[in-house]
Structure 1
């Protein structure tokens, strides 16, 4: 995530993020659990690995889910939003994972390129980055810090929201299912339409990955606009 994109994740947004993310993404925990399983299946159960967690702020589910499965793995958690990184590190501390997790307040480009990681995650970030260039930049920065053939877990919304009115309507019903009033739903959907810029399709996601130096993308999870993929550093 860029510094500019991080500005909207102020202390008030950080405080509500954990609840809101689980409503907005049906299957939130399942996606993170499957991401952990995909990494373990790729790198080998019981192996040692150092994992780059880009855009780590918030619930810290990337770290917690993977760490529960693989006790020998360590993490570098990067986020440009201090409130969001603080929230993530509080969840990591509560899970007893502080010694295995290095927090970095900043962006992926701040990390050295001569200490490559065995794997990386970028979950719930790409659709918050405005424009093609910002998306391409963060994927390229991650690729530059991975070993050859290292896996990347990429997850986030794709499709132009307004192009899928039925899924938008279903999204509204999910908010209603969790107690939101019609007025609140209208506000939430309005914010989504104005504040996010997802890739326009899965093909667009694959093109971004290829341009950044990743190969063999494979989708392993989907929920309305959300998709999750694994790809490998070429």
Structure 2
């Protein structure tokens, strides 16, 4: 596995990201819609807010969805992959949300340490980071830039893939449903087994979040390996 997860998202992978993600994650759009709804419920609908969107590349779907729901929200989009960020910029501009979005090509740690946000999202990122140390680091960096009590939406895979053979087989069938050949399915299974390192359980997700300074999370979405949670930054 590369020490730089952003290197995986070259122009060819970035170009297919939105279509491929909707196959790999059954309920891709529903997850983003519910994430926006959870944030609006936590913050109060109609309220102004600054939202940190980490891993916004690939279309900025978090911003497109939440921006349509809450016209008073402003966004800071962060992603280390240039090709993926280009896709996000194009999509956000096409939806008329560029005037409410600032783009940062890089990492959360590059943002000013004193900057504070009312909410944050980390969707589809954590399982690309190798090892628990990297996972804790990004969650702690986000927590340090949130107001006390501010909500974080975390979404991503949350099982060791080989530990759930039935889910892995169903994931392969999902690709078959969308026209993949047996050889293509085998290649995709090989890529996910070698190229990602998700937390090994829901309890591991809970421990990572609480260790980074968040309250115990509440899960609100699940799809095979995927889960989505909301957790608030601890008040102290």
TM-score computed with the length of structure 1 as normaliser: 0.98
Q: Aligned residue for 1:68?
A: 68
SS in 2 for 1:148: coil
Q: Tell me, in whole angstroms, the C-alpha distance in 2 between the residues paired with 1:3 and 1:163.
A: 24
Q: Aligned residue for 1:168?
A: 168
Does the alignment pair 1:102 with 2:102?
Answer: yes
Matches within 5 A, 1:51-62: 51-62=51-62
**1:115 offset after TM fit, Å?**
2.0
**1:59 offset after TM fit, Å?**
2.1
- Count of aligned positions: 233
8 A contact 2:14–2:87 mirrored in 1: yes
**1:112 offset after TM fit, Å?**
1.1
SS in 2 for 1:46: coil
Q: Aligned residue for 1:204?
A: 204
SS in 1 for 2:153: strand
SS in 2 for 1:96: coil
SS in 2 for 1:230: strand
SS in 2 for 1:214: coil
Q: Aligned residue for 1:138?
A: 138
Q: Tell me, in whole angstroms, the C-alpha distance in 2 between the residues paired with 1:110 and 1:181.
A: 42
Q: Aligned residue for 1:152?
A: 152
**1:60 offset after TM fit, Å?**
1.1
SS in 2 for 1:213: coil
Q: Tell me, in whole angstroms, the C-alpha distance in 1 between the residues paired with 2:79 and 2:221.
A: 24
Q: Aligned residue for 1:111?
A: 111
Deviation by residue 1:75-128 (Cα, 9 ceiling, x = unmatched): 000000000001011000110001001000000000112120000000000000
Q: Aligned residue for 1:13?
A: 13
Root-mean-square deviation (CA), in Å?
1.0
Gaps of 5+ in 2: none
Q: Tell me, in whole angstroms, the C-alpha distance in 2 between the residues paired with 1:3 and 1:30.
A: 31
8 A contact 1:3–1:107 mirrored in 2: no
**1:3 offset after TM fit, Å?**
7.9
Deviation >4 Å, runs of 4+: none
SS in 1 for 2:154: strand
8 A contact 2:50–2:119 mirrored in 1: yes
